[in-house]
């Protein structure tokens, strides 16, 4: 139930963005840059990271939307559940495991990150740009999870699928186009 009294109690994030376009536009531009522009990670891997961080935070809305988006980009169904259950045994590319471990620490206990954590990411074959991009995905979704939970945004499974499909088809720039001005 949305906590903003000017919105319908069942308002989704799109309605929050429509109500506050001045802040929504730059936020969606940041999403487009972080999740869709060139990166050492594929779009599917970045959406998987977004869903993983959101799952760690128990943000059902963002986890549901970004799991669907990741799957639409080719992430196998059920992988996010397996990652949240046990990162070490989940059937994920071994190169991604230290990146996801890094994001788990960044999300749950950020002050405990050390240079050794970054070195694990580098040892898996990722470069400095990859670490930067992974941190931006993690930071963005920690922010978004707090925004969504703080505003009381929720949705049913059908809406989460619709929203995930829309992000797959239109991206974040396409979502921004739905805001009007």
CB-based contacts of 62, cutoff 8 Å, min separation 6? 50, 51, 54, 141, 144, 145, 148
Q: What is the share, in percent, of the chain residues with pLDDT greater than 70?
A: 99
Is residue 73, in this structure, part of any structural domain at all? yes
Task: Judge whether 56 and 84 are in contact, CB under 8 Å.
Answer: yes
The two three-digit tokens of residue 56, written as one number: 């760690």
94-151 pLDDT per residue, tens: 999 999 999 999 999 999 999 999 999 999 999 999 999 999 999 999 999 999 999 9
Task: Judge whether 68 and 155 are in contact, CB under 8 Å.
Answer: no
Is residue 57, in this structure, part of any structural domain at all? yes
Is residue 106, in this structure, part of any structural domain at all? yes
Total domains present in the chain: 1
What is the average per-residue pLDDT within 49-59? Answer: 98
Rg (CA), the chain: 16
The two three-digit tokens of residue 100, written as one number: 């996801």
Q: Residue 181: what pLDDT?
A: 64
Is residue 69, in this structure, part of any structural domain at all? yes
Task: Residue 117: give its domain's CATH number.
Answer: 1.20.1290.10
Is residue 16, in this structure, part of any structural domain at all? no
Is residue 47, in this structure, part of any structural domain at all? yes
Whether the pLDDT of residue 176 is over 90: the answer is no
What is the average per-residue pLDDT within 159-170? Answer: 94
Is residue 24, in this structure, part of any structural domain at all? no
Is residue 29, in this structure, part of any structural domain at all? no
What is the pTM for the complete model shown? Answer: 0.96
What is the average per-residue pLDDT within 66-82? Answer: 98
CB-based contacts of 146, cutoff 8 Å, min separation 6? none
Residue 83, phi then psi, degrees to nearest 5:
-65, -40
Domain that residue 103 falls in: 34-177
38 SS3 class: coil
Q: Residue 143: what pLDDT?
A: 98
């Amino acid at each position: 139930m949305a906590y903003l009294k000017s919105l319908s109690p069942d308002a989704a994030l799109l309605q929050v963005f429509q109500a506050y376009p001045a802040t929504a536009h730059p936020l969606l531009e940041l999403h487009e840059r972080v999740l869709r522009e060139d990166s050492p990670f594929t779009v599917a891997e970045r959406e998987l990271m977004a869903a993983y961080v959101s799952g760690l935070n128990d943000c059902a809305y963002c986890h549901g939307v970004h799991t669907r988006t990741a799957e639409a980009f080719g992430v196998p169904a059920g992988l996010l559940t397996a990652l949240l259950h046990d990162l070490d045994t989940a059937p994920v590319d071994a190169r991604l495991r230290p990146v996801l471990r890094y994001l788990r620490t960044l999300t749950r206990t950020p002050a405990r990150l050390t240079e050794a954590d970054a070195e694990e990411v580098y040892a898996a074959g990722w470069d400095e740009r990859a670490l930067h991009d992974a941190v931006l995905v993690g930071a963005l979704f920690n922010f978004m999870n707090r925004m969504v939970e703080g505003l009381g945004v929720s949705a049913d499974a059908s809406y989460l699928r619709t929203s995930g499909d829309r992000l797959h088809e239109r991206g974040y720039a396409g979502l921004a186009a739905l805001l009007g001005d």
